[in-house]
Structure 1
Amino acid sequence: MLLPDRDDRKCTLHRPLRAGTQPVRLDRRAALAGAASLALFAPSIARAQSARRVYRLERGGSDIGSQSLTVTRSGGEIVVDIDIDLRVSLLGITAYRYEMTNQERWSGGAVQSIRSNTNNDGEREFVEARRTGAGLEISGSGFSGTLTGTVGTTTYWTPAMMRRPQWVNTQDGSTLNIVASRRGSAQYPTATGTVSTAVWSLGSDLPLILYYTDAGEWAGSTFDAQGEEVRYIAQSLAPSLGPIWSES
């Protein structure tokens, strides 16, 4: 997930763009049919559900890329796939490029594995994590170690993450101390119109704002990049992601 960088020097997205900047190289049949359809509304017993969402990314009102988010549930396992493709251009020259692929596997409300690769403007970053008896063992470009307890991730597609005080940065594996705080309500834009959302801030380790609808759908997020707002805008809120989540 593209994030505000705590060290702005590492990410040219957070630096003012200057002319001349050089590029650095997401009857019975009826009864059976009815039973199958009911599974869609009961996440804990659903055998197969999948939903995909695309977000447009803007910086200072200009289109800079997109992120796709696909969430699939099969039995007790949830698989989350992320693809991000972003580039900031100046006078037709690519001044900054960011690409990420990330896959997470969840079961019983706990992340079981993370595998991500990121091209951060020519710098490779990665996370390889898996759950063992000791906890979540992480090998990343920014952190290697074991986390215990119920952790969240910077994929944050479900508001259930707001109840988790420690997150894994899926870009480099570093740990984030999250202080989630409800900041009221706001109308937030999507490609199909504005929606009512709950507004959440996450504290100094991750200075961004998240917007979730009353139904628990992630509508988007915003953060500051050297005085310009970066904004995630959902192209549609259908199909729903929320019913797929379950901690059972």
Structure 2
Amino acid sequence: MHPRRLLPKLFAPTLTALLPGTARAQQPRSGRGEVPAIPQAVPPMRADYRWRVMRNGSEIGSHSVTFSQRGAELIAISDVSIMPKLLGVVVYRFEHRYTEVTRAGGFVAVQSRQNRNGSIVEVSAEAAPGRVAIRGPEGALNLPANAAPLSWWEPQRFGGAVPIFGTTTGRLMDLRWSRLALPGGGVQWRCQGEVDATLAYDMHGQWVAYSVIGDDGSTVSYTAS
């Protein structure tokens, strides 16, 4: 089974940390001679995701996405581990970890490391003036300034809203999207092209379902753990 289809390029994670500077107000000093700091806007904390990865009724791995805050930045760490077994023996190993930083919903940086049966691929990307600077298997690349990684927990990027790049290639992806409203205010997205996946989100934008078609025609799906 091709790992890019098993768990698409959005899985990936450890990131380049960008420490936010401390904003200072241009205000009169306090009696102690100190300049009061302007509080930074803190992004709302998001609920973590923990999934069991299923194929043909059997659990073959896990995918977790955990969130933390660093000042005005939101840090998402995605960790995928796929190890299907035959007669109790691991026959395939796919591990993908990437960390993404956003600020006020905008992409800041991402760092990804993929291990596919011992073959390591690393990709890093960082928002820069007028571009997104990529370093990956194809060397240094510059993508459009509004480009962002394919992160399944960020559905506001879908449907052509921004150029999407793969966290295991560093290249822009060829994706086609369709959207379907669900009862209760949720939404279903269908992604086709380099990845053939179906996802669902509730009325609050929380990721609640995922399935993808593998190269062998089998369906890999997620079950909340």
TM bin, normalised by shorter chain, reads 0.7 to 0.9
- 1:63 paired to 2:59: yes
Alpha-carbon distance between aligned partners in 2 of 1:96 and 1:233, rounded to the nearest angstrom: 21
What does the per-residue CA deviation read over 1:131-185, in whole Å, with 9 as the maximum and x for residues that have no partner? 2214111111256411113223222202212253421211232221333211453
Match of 1:103 among 99, 103, 118: 99
Which structure 2 residue ranges, 5 or more long, are not aligned?
A: 7-39
3-state DSSP of counterpart to 2:83: strand
Contact 1:166 1:177 in 2 (8 A): no
Contact 2:113 2:121 in 1 (8 A): yes
The offset of 1:111, in angstroms, is: 1.5
3-state DSSP of counterpart to 1:49: coil
- 1:173 paired to 2:170: yes
Corresponding residue for residue 122 of structure 2:
126
Corresponding residue for residue 197 of structure 2:
208
3-state DSSP of counterpart to 2:200: strand
How many residue pairs get aligned? The number is 188
Contact 1:112 1:130 in 2 (8 A): yes
Corresponding residue for residue 4 of structure 1:
5
- 1:232 paired to 2:212: no
Corresponding residue for residue 69 of structure 2:
73
Corresponding residue for residue 212 of structure 2:
223
Kindly, what percent of the aligned residue pairs are identical?
Answer: 23
What does the per-residue CA deviation read over 1:178-233, in whole Å, with 9 as the maximum and x for residues that have no partner? 332114538xxxxxxxx985221123132211111121111131111212110022
3-state DSSP of counterpart to 1:202: strand
The offset of 1:75, in angstroms, is: 3.9
Counterpart residue type for residue 218 of structure 2? E
3-state DSSP of counterpart to 2:84: strand
Alpha-carbon distance between aligned partners in 2 of 1:202 and 1:74, rounded to the nearest angstrom: 32
Which structure 1 residue ranges, 5 or more long, are not aligned?
A: 6-43, 187-194, 236-248
Counterpart residue type for residue 211 of structure 2? T
The offset of 1:112, in angstroms, is: 1.4
What does the per-residue CA deviation read over 1:5-47, in whole Å, with 9 as the maximum and x for residues that have no partner? 7xxxxxxxxxxxxxxxxxxxxxxxxxxxxxxxxxxxxxx9436
Counterpart residue type for residue 185 of structure 1? L
RMSD across aligned C-alpha pairs, in angstroms?
2.5
Counterpart residue type for residue 137 of structure 1? A
Query: Please, what TM-score do these two structures have when normalized by structure 1?
Result: 0.67
Alignment CA distance shift 1:78-1:199 (3 Å): same
- 1:198 paired to 2:187: yes
Alignment CA distance shift 1:143-1:59 (3 Å): farther
3-state DSSP of counterpart to 2:205: coil
The structure with more helix, counted as a fraction of residues: 1
3-state DSSP of counterpart to 1:160: helix
3-state DSSP of counterpart to 2:93: strand
> Which is further off, 173-182 or 79-88?
173-182
Corresponding residue for residue 155 of structure 2:
159
Alpha-carbon distance between aligned partners in 2 of 1:148 and 1:86, rounded to the nearest angstrom: 32
